[in-house]
Amino acid sequence: MKVLVINCGSSSLKYQLIDSDSERVLAVGICERIGQDVSHLKHTPEGQSKIVIETTEMKNHEVAIEMVLHALTDEKHGVIKSLDEIGAIGHRVVHGGEKFACSTIINDEVIAALEECSELAPLHNPANLIGIHACEKLMPGKPQVGVFDTAFHQTMPPKAYLYGIPHEYYKKYKIRKYGFHGTSHSFVSKETAQFCGLDINNSKIIVCHLGNGCSISAVLNGKSIDTSMGFTPLAGLVMGTRCGDIDPSIIEFMAKKEGKTLDQVMNVLNKESGLQGMSEVSSDFRDLNDAVDEGNELATIAFQVFCYNVAKYIGGYVAAMNGVDAIAFTAGVGENDWRVREWVCEYLGYLGVKIDLELNNTKSKLLMLTGPECKTKVCIVPTNEELAISRETVELLK
Ligand code: ADP
């Protein structure tokens, strides 16, 4: 079956057409600046170079999806003859609240439940819903599946997901830890078990998803029992531009001192903080590495803060699971940044971890960094959220 995987952001739309039998990516692309004066569609058919279409017509996500469908069936750079070849559509949905503990076939009831969850992810869920409605309009009756970022973490016990605030706020508003990047944590934990020769049903795995957004999860016997992001993706680790865990009183203090509204302070914490804010250099680890090499002090400290926090979360999850069999690094930073892995692993001597520094410095994808003598294995395991969504979609429609 060919599965169209769609990931709608507020002003962008990423897509992949995946042949689920061979797991080949037939086409991949992105619509950027949807709703702005000039938008782009970047489309790369398998084995061909990227084409870029500039347009003033991409007024909304529906038009964007229409353009994607045209590109997929285009005579020159298309990869299918007709839309009938698409068997199903898999949507990445950011927030499933407490309602969705696994992926689900989308119907009217599910759409209503998603609308309810929108309050919990006001920037993301409305865009996801627009994508779902647009697909239904353009390909009526085609099965659609929602795969939630939060679903994998619904196995967390109350002691992990409840905050130290009056219980009435959980009862009234469902204020609790949800966790995100669940599709990645689920995919990578399974791949890690397989790569390390572990029985997933009898395993203790820590997944470090380090990208622009960063989160760590503790996966016990294949189930998430804790994760670093919280009620929103702002919590946990210091990230590219997000602050991660801070004392909540800072918000009031900053607002008063700077004469900012709550929205303005939240904007600082979401978009101007993290490594970007701390280093005053960049949120991108490639730039940060250059700055560290040049001896930039703020960049070096920001880098240290990042790695120290990752190591502390790992330590916390070793305690939560009473041990760890494997630690996996994944996503843009986790897969590519040797320095982050080296500096984090320097804290893990108590686990007997000793990584091969030369191997760690090579450009390779799936890679074991520890030798057979290490009881706790450390590895690089590439994530692939689109493939995970395609697999889930096919599984549900079986
Ligand atoms: P997103 O959260 O947007 O999915 P990714 O997982 O793609 O993010 O990670 C993007 C980040 O990965 C970039 O901002 C950059 O910091 C980092 N990155 C990508 N390539 C490299 C590299 N070769 N070395 C170090 N960091 C890298």
The 10s digit of each residue's pLDDT in 1-12 is: 999 999 998 889
131 lies in the same domain as 207:
no
Same domain, 125 and 233: no
> Rounded mean pLDDT of 193-212?
97
Q: Which residues contact 378 (CB under 8 A, 6 or more apart)?
A: 326, 327, 328, 329, 341, 345, 348, 353, 355, 368, 369, 370
pLDDT at 364: 81
pLDDT, residue 343, reads 98
Residue of 149, 226, 325, 337 marked catalytic: 149
**192 found inside a domain:** no
For atom 3 of ligand 1, the residue with the nearest CA is 212
| Ligand 1 midpoint to CA 133 (Å) | 31
What single string gives the DSSP state of each residue in 363-387?
A: --SSEE-B-TT-SSEEEE----HHH
From 2-11, 186-195, 316-325, 387-396, the region with the lowest mean pLDDT: 2-11
CATH of residue 137: 3.30.420.40
Tally of domains within the chain = 2
> Are 245 and 364 in the same domain?
yes
Q: 204 and 132, same structural domain?
A: no
Residues 263 and 349 in one domain: yes
Residue 227: the pLDDT is 98
Residue 10: the pLDDT is 80
pLDDT for 120 equals: 86
Q: Are residues 250 and 347 in the same domain?
A: yes
CA-based nearest residue to 365, from 388, 321, 334: 334
In this prediction the pTM is 0.95
How far out from the chain centre does Cα 247 lie?
25
**Together in a domain, 112 and 215:** no
Element (H, E) at 134: helix 125-138
242 and 322 assigned to the same domain: yes
Q: Which of 34, 38, 87 minimizes the C-alpha distance to 61?
A: 34
Residue 52 confidence (pLDDT): 96
For residue 386, tell me if it sits in a domain.
no
Angle between helix 385-397 and 182-195 (nearest 10)? 90
| Distance in Å, CA 283 to ligand 1 centroid | 9
Matching residue, tokens 């996996």: 328
Mutate to test the pocket of ligand 1, among 149, 215, 238, 284 (most ligand atoms within 8 A of CB): 284
Give the tens place of pLDDT for each residue, 132-165: 999 999 999 999 999 999 999 999 999 999 999 9
Domain hosting residue 376, numbered range: 200-380
Whose C-alpha lies nearest to ligand 1, atom 22?
Answer: 336
Evaluate if residue 359 carries a pLDDT over 90. Answer: yes
Q: Is residue 156 part of a domain?
A: no
**Alpha-carbon distances, residue 91 vs 28, 41, 80 (angstroms):** 15, 19, 20
DSSP 215-252: EEEEEETTEEEEES--SSTTSSS--SS---S--THHHH
Q: What is the pLDDT of residue 124?
A: 84
pLDDT digits (tens, 9 = 90+) for 255-295: 999 999 999 999 999 999 999 999 999 999 999 999 999 99
Whether residue 213 sits in one domain with residue 106: no
Answer whether residue 176 is part of any domain: no
- Quick one: pLDDT band at residue 251, thresholds 50, 70, 90? very high
What mean pLDDT value characterizes the chain? 96
Question: Confidence band (pLDDT; 50, 70, 90) for 171?
Answer: very high
Note whether 340 and 218 are same-domain residues. Answer: yes
Position 97 scores a pLDDT of: 94
Q: Confirm whether 70 is domain-assigned.
A: yes
pLDDT at position 244:
97
Q: Is 149 noted as a catalytic residue in this protein?
A: yes
- CA 271 to ligand 1 center in whole angstroms: 16
- Nearest-CA residue for ligand 1 atom 13 is 284
Residue 332 maps to a domain: yes
Q: Does residue 130 form part of some domain?
A: yes
Q: Is the pLDDT of residue 197 over 80?
A: yes
What does the pLDDT look like over 66-85, one tens digit per residue?
999 999 999 999 999 999 99
Average pLDDT, integer, range 189-216: 97
- 285 CA: nearest ligand 1 atom: 16
The distance from CA 274 to its chain's CA centroid, rounded to whole angstroms, is 17
Residue 157 lies in a domain: no
Same domain, 144 and 207: no
Query: Is the pLDDT reported for residue 123 higher than 80?
Result: no
Task: Give me the pLDDT at residue 56, please.
Answer: 94
Q: What is the pLDDT of residue 9?
A: 84
Pocket test for ligand 1, best of 337, 364, 389 (most atoms within 8 A of CB): 337
Say what percent of the chain tops pLDDT 70. 100
CA 197 to chain centre: 25
Q: How far is residue 363's CA from residue 102's CA, in Å, rounded to a whole number?
A: 34
